[in-house]
Amino acid sequence: MNPASSSSPGPAPTPSGLTLAQYLIRRLQDYGIRHVFGIPGDYILGFYTQLERSPIQTIGCTREDCAGFAADAYARCNGMGAVCVTYCVGGLSVCNSIAGAFAEKSPVVVITGSPGLRERVNSPLLHHKVRDFRTQLEVFEKICVAATELTDPSTAFREIDRVLDAVARFKRPGYIDLPRDLVNVVPTVSYSYQKPDTTSDPLVLQEAGEEAERLLTQARKPIILAGVEIHRFGLQDRLLALAEQSGIPIVSTLLGKSVIRETHPLYAGLYEGAMGHAAVTQFVEESDCVLVLGAFMTDINLGIYTANLDPGRCLYATSEQLRIRHHHFQGVILSDFLEELIRRQPATAPRPLPAGLPPRNPPYVLQSEAPLTISRLMARLNEQLDDTCVVIADVGDSLFAATDLVMSRRTEFLSPAYYTSMGFSVPAALGVHFAQPSRRAVVICGDGAFQMTGQEFSSLVRHGFAPIVIVNDNSGYGTERALHPGDWKFNEIHGWNYSRLTEVYRGGTGYEVRTEGEFDRALTKAWADTSGPSLIHVHTSREDGSETLRRLGQRMSQRI
């Protein structure tokens, strides 16, 4: 999966005679968008009609927030995604998904219809309206990098390009509101797209490169800490070029997991502070020069602030800032900084990986009659994964236990590891399958997360996809139990016969398992079955949990 670069595509054809809807659709295509997720409603029906007449395929979802999660996953795989919903009841329903995309830097375009300008005279009480006609716009201005309401045809094309340029450049969501009586309006003014200038300041770049080269050359124990922006900006090849020519080992954050293939000889593992593997934590924290590339230092990435990284030993480069030790450099683009380091070829000291790191191919011996645990589930799944898979881990121990999975290709692990919104995974599978139809999604989610958005399994059936959805049923919110020990009723949920839901959805195959042997047989059958989706209902103990979750619980419970 190769997300698009951060730059905008070339100039669009002269939009003479195009309506606002036609121009917007054409520009979405220019950015590689082939599918738009959403749910129609009367304020957006005119634009939906134009979409259906275009090469872009509309993908109906069961809920607006599911459409947002699907578009988010599509964007992570494709470079940009889009969701299209109606006014307020649709737009406000998708807010949580878009907030997550903003937090985790996923470039999703939100397109919404709204009441026509002629309908707004004297501020009537139209259906879906909340407070006034700008309420939805003002909400999305808080969770998008750029937002516009296309109320003036003479500036509409320019506004569309402004928002799309910002989405592409900053890898965050953008918002476009199209009043329904302007969908088929043809602007009478001429317009020519001008690509924005996004180059680095050459003098600042040179000075930053000099200081970075000096620190890396002096270092005896350098390391690269790679994060999610390496995924988003398609910089994996540049990262590897720098690491391989210099011999610097690489670790990744949890949000950046699979930034490179995890069998690469320079890959040392996930860095999660005290939450993570002790050998990895020690290897990072004893480094005398930490080159942080595209990583956000969130509480989860830092192991609930148990990480011990001295700013005086860090070079911190993201799309938003460049800081070398305590020096700040303005006007330097992340990709240019990487290219500058590669050009300079810093002569760093060779640093072998230490003993005691997590094994690349951990052995798994089946204990057929043993009750299945989440850790043993991951160990068995590790044997099955191949380079055709994309693993999607939902929030909770689905995510924390999945840190033990070894990704054999890059950008094949998706999760909401910073914003941590439950319910991401099943809708995300829909987005992955449309973005990368040659790949197969393996979904890992808890019973609580599945009950939130599992209805999107219906869309997977509808479109004939064959993901494998593993539902870990521990009778409630297992992560909350670890964070707040005690027999609390609010952490319990009503149990479902998950494996029987395939009968409700009229497609797919369900399995119910309790032991390692039953899971082994179910996974083997599901892997061989590409006729439709598989749903494996896994029963685990209420007290079960991965080691990562246990460490997290110990840290967080002190605060809770």
Instruction: Look up the CATH number of the domain holding residue 300.
Output: 3.40.50.1220
Residue 453 shares a structural domain with residue 546: yes
Q: How far apart are the first and last CA of the chain?
A: 39
Half-sphere exposure (CA, 13 Å, Cβ side) for 115?
A: 20
Residue 368 placed within a domain: no
Which 8-state DSSP code applies to residue 491?
G
Total H helices, total E strands in the chain: 20, 19
Edge to edge, the sheet with strand 534-539 lists: 413-414, 389-393, 440-446, 468-473, 534-539, 509-513
Residue 5 pLDDT class (50, 70, 90 cuts): very low
**80-94, 118-132, 232-246, 318-332: least confident range:** 118-132
Residue 187 placed within a domain: no
Total number of domains in the chain: 3
pLDDT (mean) for 127-152: 89
Q: Which two tokens stand for residue 415?
A: 């999760």
| pLDDT at residue 305 is higher than 50 | no
Q: Which two tokens stand for residue 303?
A: 């192991």
Residue 14 placed within a domain: no
- Give the whole-angstrom CA distance, residue 205 versus residue 218: 20
**pLDDT for the residue numbered 15:** 59
| pLDDT at residue 304 is higher than 50 | no
Residue 480 shares a structural domain with residue 545: yes
Residue 168 shares a structural domain with residue 251: no
Rg (CA), the chain: 24
* Share of the chain residues as helix, strand and coil, in percent rounded to the nearest 5: 40, 15, 45
| pLDDT at residue 302 is higher than 60 | no
- Give the whole-angstrom CA distance, residue 428 versus residue 106: 13
Q: What is the pLDDT of residues 178-203, one digit of tens each?
A: 998 999 999 998 888 888 878 899 99
Residue 197 placed within a domain: no
Residue 213 shares a structural domain with residue 252: yes
Residue 329 shares a structural domain with residue 417: no
Residue 129 shares a structural domain with residue 208: no
Packing angle of the helix pair 95-103, 64-78 (nearest 10 deg): 30
Residue 388 shares a structural domain with residue 284: no
**What domain range includes position 312?**
202-344
Residue 540 placed within a domain: yes
Cβ pair 133, 120 in contact under 8 A: yes
Residue 262 shares a structural domain with residue 395: no
Residue 385 pLDDT class (50, 70, 90 cuts): very high
| pLDDT at residue 78 is higher than 90 | yes
**3-7, 278-282, 308-312, 424-428: least confident range:** 3-7
Strand, helix or coil for residue 488: coil
- Dihedral of the CA atoms 409, 414, 418, 419 (nearest 10)? 170
- Give the whole-angstrom CA distance, residue 230 versus residue 244: 16
pLDDT (mean) for 336-365: 89
Residue 55, C-beta contacts closer than 8 angstroms, at least 6 positions apart: 29, 34
Q: What is the CATH number of the domain that holds 416?
A: 3.40.50.970
Residue 83 shares a structural domain with residue 166: yes
Residue 386 shares a structural domain with residue 320: no
Strand, helix or coil for residue 444: strand
User: Residue 69, class by beta-carbon neighbours within 10 Å (0-12 exposed, 13-18 middle, 19+ buried)?
Assistant: buried
pLDDT (mean) for 25-46: 95
Residue 84 placed within a domain: yes
Domain termination residue (choose one: 326, 344, 362):
344
Residue 326 shares a structural domain with residue 275: yes
Strand, helix or coil for residue 300: coil
| pLDDT at residue 282 is higher than 60 | yes
- Give the whole-angstrom CA distance, residue 229 versus residue 329: 18
Residue 426 shares a structural domain with residue 535: yes
Residue 548 placed within a domain: yes
Instruction: Give percent of the chain with pLDDT exceeding 90.
Output: 70
Cβ pair 75, 108 in contact under 8 A: yes
Residue 61 placed within a domain: yes
